[in-house]
Amino acid sequence: MLRQDSLGTPKPGLTSLADPALNQETPPHLLRESLTPTALFFVRNNGTLPDLPRDTGLDWQLEVTGLVRRPLSLSLAELRARFPVVEVTAVLECAGNGRSAFAPSVPGLAWGNGAVGCARWTGVRLADVLAQAGVAPGAVYVAHESPDHVVGAPGQPALSRGLPIEKALAPETLLAFGMNGAPLDPLHGFPLRVVAPGYPGSAWQKWLTRLVVRDREHDGAKMTGLDYRMPRHPVRPGETPDPAQFEVIADMPVKSLITEPAADFTASGPLLISGFAWSGAIPLDRVEVSTDGGASWQPAALEAADGPWAWRRFTAFALLPGPGEVELMARATDIAGNTQPLEPVWNPRGYLNNAVHRIRGRVV
């Protein structure tokens, strides 16, 4: 085992957040590729980086236990040999992405807009592994465990989240060992992580060592109270929230990000506005852009998706008002008619900010 102690090496070019653990986001103008290069992919660690194998990681052990007929203990080599290896291109977004825009401000990491990326993930279906273990009647949830811990508190797991059994058994949900055609990077969960397309990043457990099938929702680190939960009904700032009125975040909402031009651009003529749009379970319908503060919107062209869980590039050629300051906006809508709000919808922990992305610049 390689003693990494502990926090991991920051990636150059990303923006580091103030936190005891390593957390970095990608400036939106660097997210220009359909597959986010691993070197530019945001990092979200709730604690330390665990001790990791120095080699291929094929000896890494995964235990499958709890409400199963045949508890399993499999090495990564056995996982790869026993189950079909599949790939999925999927967006990974932190539920707290965009938190810094909430007013009044909320506790939690103050992400800008860059806690998101899209990669091609390689692994085996979690459903295939669970079928081999034989899920017993009464199973409703699968809990994830990993060896990372709270910085400075070795006995305290950093994060132990999970998935409702339906999502664990869904064909897109993987136990992944590859990212963008290479073995997982240590910062992204090498040797083994959960890939739960459409679900918040917190459900994508890294450095996975154990799955526990349960007869109730999981209660691990960051699964209880208000963690990764949204209120069923709006909660006003200052109100005392009642945790019983909150539920665990499942499918992520429709969203888009302008990657070009970059913030503080200067333009003189018609401008190409482009970026990516994505949604959780409900497919995208359209993207529009505005150059006049949302008074009028024009349709953007949407490229085909690399499967249902990938983001899609949008492009629009816009005439700019001017000269002077201008604000560009992009707004995505899914096929159920859910659309991005103009302003963030406040909630006590600052999750799921899918307000339209705005880029300011100058027309000369």
Ligand X SMILES: Nc1nc2c(c(=O)[nH]1)N[C@H]1C(S)=C(S)[C@@H](COP(=O)(O)O)O[C@H]1N2
Query: Which residues of this chain interact with ligand X, rule CB under 6 A?
Result: 41-47, 92, 94, 146, 148, 158-159, 188-189, 201-202, 204-207
Report how far residue 189's alpha carbon sits from residue 286's, in angstroms, rounded to the nearest whole number. 33
User: Judged by CB, which is closer to Mo ion: 255, or 313?
Assistant: 255
Residue 144 near residue 202 (C-beta atoms within 8 A): no
User: Judged by CB, which is closer to Mo ion: 36, or 202?
Assistant: 202
User: Judged by CB, which is closer to ligand X: 110, or 316?
Assistant: 110
User: Judged by CB, which is closer to Mo ion: 206, or 313?
Assistant: 206
The type of residue at 171 is: P
User: Judged by CB, which is closer to ligand X: 51, or 285?
Assistant: 51
CB of 346 to Mo ion, least distance (A): 19
Helix or strand run (H / E) with residue 172: none
DSSP character string of 283-309: PEEEEEEESSTTSS-EEPEEPPPSSTT
Report how far residue 105's alpha carbon sits from residue 229's, in angstroms, rounded to the nearest whole number. 17
Helix or strand run (H / E) with residue 49: none
Confirm or reject binding of residue 144 to Mo ion (CB under 5 A). no
Q: Is 166 helix (H, G, I), strand (E, B) or coil?
A: helix
CB of 159 to ligand X, least distance (A): 4
Q: Count of alpha carbons within 13 Å of 68, Cβ hemisphere only?
A: 22
> Using CB distances below 5 to 8 A depending on partner kind, what does residue 278 bind out of ligand X, Mo ion, none?
none
Size of the site for Mo ion (CB under 5 A): 4
Confirm or reject binding of residue 44 to Mo ion (CB under 5 A). yes
CB of 96 to Mo ion, least distance (A): 6
User: Judged by CB, which is closer to Mo ion: 30, or 158?
Assistant: 158
Report how far residue 209's alpha carbon sits from residue 64's, in angstroms, rounded to the nearest whole number. 9
CB of 327 to ligand X, least distance (A): 28
CB of 60 to ligand X, least distance (A): 13
User: Judged by CB, which is closer to ligand X: 159, or 289?
Assistant: 159
CB of 123 to ligand X, least distance (A): 14
Confirm or reject binding of residue 180 to Mo ion (CB under 5 A). no
Residue least distant from ligand X (Cβ): 201
Report how far residue 273's alpha carbon sits from residue 278's, in angstroms, rounded to the nearest whole number. 17
- In the chain, where does DSSP find H-type helix? 76-82, 126-133, 165-168
Report how far residue 318's alpha carbon sits from residue 26's, in angstroms, rounded to the nearest whole number. 26
Length of the chain: 364
Residue 264 φ then ψ, to 5°: 65, 30
| Beta-strand pair 210-214/61-66 | parallel
Among 49, 67, 72, 94, binds Mo ion (CB under 5 A): 94
Alpha-carbon separation of residue 124 from 81, 153, 174, 307, 327 (angstroms):
10, 33, 5, 17, 44
CB of 239 to ligand X, least distance (A): 26
> Using CB distances below 5 to 8 A depending on partner kind, what does residue 328 bind out of Mo ion, ligand X, none?
none
> Using CB distances below 5 to 8 A depending on partner kind, what does residue 146 bind out of Mo ion, ligand X, none?
ligand X
Confirm or reject binding of residue 175 to Mo ion (CB under 5 A). no
Block residue for tokens 């807009």: 113
Among 180, 202, 256, 354, binds Mo ion (CB under 5 A): 202
User: Judged by CB, which is closer to ligand X: 20, or 171?
Assistant: 20
Binding residues for Mo ion, rule: CB under 5 A, are 44, 94, 201-202
